[in-house]
Each structure stands twice: as structure tokens, then as C-alpha cells.
């Protein structure tokens, strides 16, 4: 059965709903949950830094990531579940797929939209790519 559940978050309402379902499932089956926020970096998209006079430090990315984790967790009952939190930098799809392998994730639970959401689309681009490329089951929450 599922021992480790990964929940990628961008602090959107879709991510919060995904975390809520993941926590319910984890409590029922006694699984651990890894809550992951991926901070975008220009290098993740273009392979080099494009600053236009704007400098964002790694520390700022981590602080923003921690705020996203806190926003996602706000009001959630995590007392009955082992919950680990992580902030990474890079392209969300790449980092999520890396974490699946690195952490031996058995299930990904994620929102249908969030990172890079396109209005009117059936599934967000990140959710769709993770669903197509993940090596474990992916549960998409609307």
C-alpha cells in the first residue's frame, strides 16, 4: 500500500484541497506525507539567469517557500500524521519527479491547477506533466 505521499503545493486553493485529501488518506492508511513547495528560478526555464535588474536570493526563495507551506497548512489538522516539509528551487515538474525518486514516493496527491494554471484548461500544465511522467500513481484533486 502507500507508505509515502507527496503533496506539491503552490499555496493555491487547489493545493489546499489536495493536502486535505492527502491527510485524510494518510491518517486512514498510516502513511507519511511530504509537503513540497518548488520556488521558480529563471534558470529552470531558460538555463541561465535573466535579471532585468531584479535580484532574488536563494534565502528569499526559501522564505517565500516557507510562507507557501504555512499558507497551505493553515487550519489543517496534522496531529495524526507524520508530516515533513520541504522547499526546493527549480522547475516544478522536474523537482517533483526528482522527489518521487529520491524519497521513494508511493503516491502523489496534487491539485488540478496551481503552478502555471491556465484559465479554462481542464488540467494545469504542471499537474498534466506530472501525471504523464510520474513513476507512481498520481491523484488529481479538483
Q: pLDDT of 42-85, one tens digit each?
A: 554 444 455 555 566 778 888 999 999 999 999 999 999 999 99
- Band (pLDDT 50/70/90 cuts) for residue 117 is very low
Domains of the chain and any CATH numbers: 4-140 (3.40.50.620)
Residues 6+ apart with CB under 8 A from 49: 42, 43
Sheet bearing 83-89, strands edge to edge = 83-89, 32-39, 4-9, 107-111, 138-141
User: Which of these ranges, 2-6, 111-115, 117-121, has the smallest mean pLDDT?
Assistant: 117-121
Residues of the chain above pLDDT 70, percent: 82
Average pLDDT, the chain: 87
CA quadruple 18, 24, 28, 34: dihedral positive or negative? positive
Look up residue 119 and give its three cell numbers.
484559465
Question: What pLDDT does 45 receive?
Answer: 46
Mean pLDDT, rounded, for 106-111 = 98
At residue 139, does pLDDT exceed 80? yes
* Phi, psi values for residue 59, rounded to 5°: -60, -40
Residues of the chain above pLDDT 90, percent: 70
Question: What pLDDT does 114 receive?
Answer: 61
CB 10 within 8 A of CB 37: yes
At residue 118, does pLDDT exceed 70? no
Amino acid at each position: 500500500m502507500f507508505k509515502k505521499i507527496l503533496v506539491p503545493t503552490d499555496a493555491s486553493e487547489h493545493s489546499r484541497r489536495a493536502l486535505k485529501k492527502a491527510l485524510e488518506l494518510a491518517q486512514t492508511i498510516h502513511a507519511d506525507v511530504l509537503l513540497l513547495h518548488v520556488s521558480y528560478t529563471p534558470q529552470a526555464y531558460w538555463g541561465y539567469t535573466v535579471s532585468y535588474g531584479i535580484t532574488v536570493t536563494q534565502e528569499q526563495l526559501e522564505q517565500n517557500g516557507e510562507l507557501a507551506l504555512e499558507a497551505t497548512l493553515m487550519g489543517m489538522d496534522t496531529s495524526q500524521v507524520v508530516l515533513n516539509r520541504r522547499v526546493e528551487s527549480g522547475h516544478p515538474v522536474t523537482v517533483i519527479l526528482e522527489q518521487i525518486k529520491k524519497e521513494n514516493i508511493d503516491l502523489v496527491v496534487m491539485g488540478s491547477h496551481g503552478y502555471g494554471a491556465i484559465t479554462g484548461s481542464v488540467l494545469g500544465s504542471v499537474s498534466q506533466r506530472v501525471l504523464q511522467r510520474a513513476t507512481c500513481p498520481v491523484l488529481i484533486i479538483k
